[in-house]
Structure 1
Amino acid sequence: MKKQEKSQISHPILLNNSKLINSENKVLEFINGFQGEVFNYSIEDLAKLANVSTATVFRFVRKYGFKNFKEAIIFINKNLQKLNEKYPLSTSQDNNISTIVAGNKYVLDNLYTNELQKIIEKAAQIIYNSKRILIHGAGSSKRMAETLVSNLYKVSLNVIAHDDFHLFLPVLGNATTEDVCVLFSDNLNSPEAAFTIKQCREKKVQIILITSKKKSNLITKNDVVILYEKITSKHLNIPLSSKW
């Protein structure tokens, strides 16, 4: 029997920063993937482990508003301690259960802020008043899309959804200004997401985005954007679970 590989966890010790470039995102990914109790690397060690230059780490620190590297380490360790206490993750090889529990607990604790509640209510009103609700989510977003589709069917709304983008294309082609498109896309970096948004813009179809991407050239002020942070595992899909 093949020995199970320990799940590689990523949790939001530092939140996403839209100002980061690719090399700086490597630093963020390393920090958020850290599973120890104390983050005590030197700037040289961090640069080496993240496979970037020390100059990149310096820029990374400045973009998060820290005065120096030491201040960044203190902040990281404070957040790490809070996450480890509130959302404990097992260090054993079979740590999938603790990942699921921590991931969903984090979502529940951070989902219903007053600001986000207003955005969700706005999205719900748009959905309710639309002639047709076009929903697409594939890959890691598929389960979230399926949950919304199921809930909207229960209240007898006119929903059209396909996780196969080739089947979703004709739906987009027939969309009108009376419709709304709900797009689930974790990072908004797929060609399908870009094409869907482009088509909706051309046809003046209202867009509701559910994503973890805080800033993207694809997003405009007219879009309704529901953002989420998450705890993820290399081996598991921990979806945002929200019922409107």
Structure 2
Amino acid sequence: MSYNYLEKLLRPYIKSFNDTEKIIADHFIKLGHDVVNKTLSNLADDTGLSEATIFKFVKKIGFDGFPNFKISVASNFQNIEERKNELTVFSDISKEDSSYAIAQKLVYSNKLALDNLIGSLDEERINQALNLIYDSQTIHFFGQGASSVIALDSYHKFLRTRFLCNYISDYHMQLSYATKLGPNDCVFLFSHSGETNETIEVARILRNNQVNIIVLTGNHHTDLVKLSSISFVVDSEESAFQSETLTSRILYLTIIDILYVALMYHDEAKNKDSLEKIRKALAVTKKGGTKR
């Protein structure tokens, strides 16, 4: 099974493609690695479009010409099993790179991941998630392993809102607590693989109790997504190869930031009051702070 580099490459541009460009994009994705064996003439025959149109498409997605495009495709397609054995998910980084070269490539990779996120975000989905939160009395954040760390960070952020918030790291306690929740609760579940048995089991209990579930994951086709009320699926290079939330954690936290900021402005007066109370309570911890 091969990782389709072309899907990742084209994703940021999808919303800007016209009907003709969508035909080319779909054909490229269908071809996968085989596109490197095609000439402009072959592609023109396949799609019924002109060579000039296909050339303009390649330029639009950032390449100087068709040969450069094919070189990029050839160098980025690898077998999934090979990629799983690599030291990192960053396919363009090698042990010969200097520390500064690694820094540059990592920053660029994160920027590309965020650009891809912008292309995949759906305003209707964001609004649906916000409506679930607006109608809730308490917001809860659960995850396992590395996803639990993201859940904790999200909990720490949402504490500033007017809502009561809760975070539990222990799986047994999550199961127990889930039995006490109901329609007035909203639970964020984090699982990069989407296949974590513990998180799926928590989701089943929550679904049986008619709890609103917002899932953040890196996998579209899982029971966890099916059990959710709303799901945000982030696509990153590591999503195809590894279970670690390395670059993806930036995407999850960005989605949380989006929901948090929108939420703060929805009921601005109450949220501002909540934030000021927290700042006042924390003032005692700062040097020169006034004790209450």
TM-score between both structures, scaled by the size of structure 1: 0.61
5 Å matches for 1:1-244? Answer: 24=1, 27-28=2-3, 65-66=30-31, 70-71=34-35, 78=72, 89-91=92-94, 92=97, 97-98=103-104, 100-113=106-119, 115-220=121-226, 223-232=229-238, 237-238=246-247, 239=249, 240=251, 241-242=253-254, 243=257, 244=259
Give the match's secondary structure for 1:154.
Answer: coil
Q: Which amino acid aligns with 1:134?
A: H
| Root-mean-square deviation (Å) | 3.7
Secondary structure class of the residue paired with 1:130: coil
The gaps in structure 2 that reach 5 residues or longer are 7-28, 39-68, 77-89, 260-292
Q: Tell me the equivalent position of 1:52.
A: none
- Compared CA separation, residues 221 and 139, structure 1 to 2 (3 A): closer
CA distance in 1, matches of 2:105, 2:123: 26
The 1:157/1:113 distance shift into structure 2, 3 A limit, reads farther
Flag structure 1 segments of 5+ consecutive residues without an equivalent. 1-23, 33-63
- Deviation sequence 1:14-65 (CA, Å, 0-9, x none): xxxxxxxxxx3xx339x79xxxxxxxxxxxxxxxxxxxxxxxxxxxxxxx63
What is the deviation of 1:78? 4.7
SS in 1 for 2:216: strand
Structure 1 residues 212-221 or 95-104, which shifts more? 95-104
> Closer, same or farther in 2 for the Cα pair 1:125/1:236, shift >3 Å?
closer
Q: Which has the higher contact order (CA 8 A, sep 6+)?
A: 1
Separation (CA, whole Å) in 2 of partners of 1:184 and 1:223: 14
- TM-score, normalising length from structure 2? 0.52
Larger deviation, residues 177-186 vs 133-142: 133-142
Cα distance in 2 between the residues matched to 1:117 and 1:153: 24
User: How far off its partner does 1:69 sit?
Assistant: 5.9
- DSSP-derived class of the 1:65 partner: helix
**Counterpart for residue 41 of structure 1:** none
**Considering only CA atoms, is the larger Rg found in Structure 1 or Structure 2?**
2
Query: Quick one: distance in 2 between partners of 1:73 and 1:126?
Result: 49
Runs of 4+ in 1 over 6 A off after TM superposition: 72-76, 233-236
Post-superposition offset of 1:166: 2.1
Separation in structure 2 between the aligned mates of residue 143 and residue 127 of structure 1, nearest angstrom:
21
Q: Is the 1:134–1:171 contact (alpha carbons within 8 Å) kept by the matching residues of 2? A: no
Does the 8 A contact of 1:89 with 1:102 survive in 2?
Answer: no
Question: How far 1:163 sits from its partner (Å)?
Answer: 2.2
Asked if the contact 1:132–1:159 (Cα under 8 Å) also holds between the matched residues in 2, the reply is yes
Query: Counterpart amino acid of 1:212?
Result: G
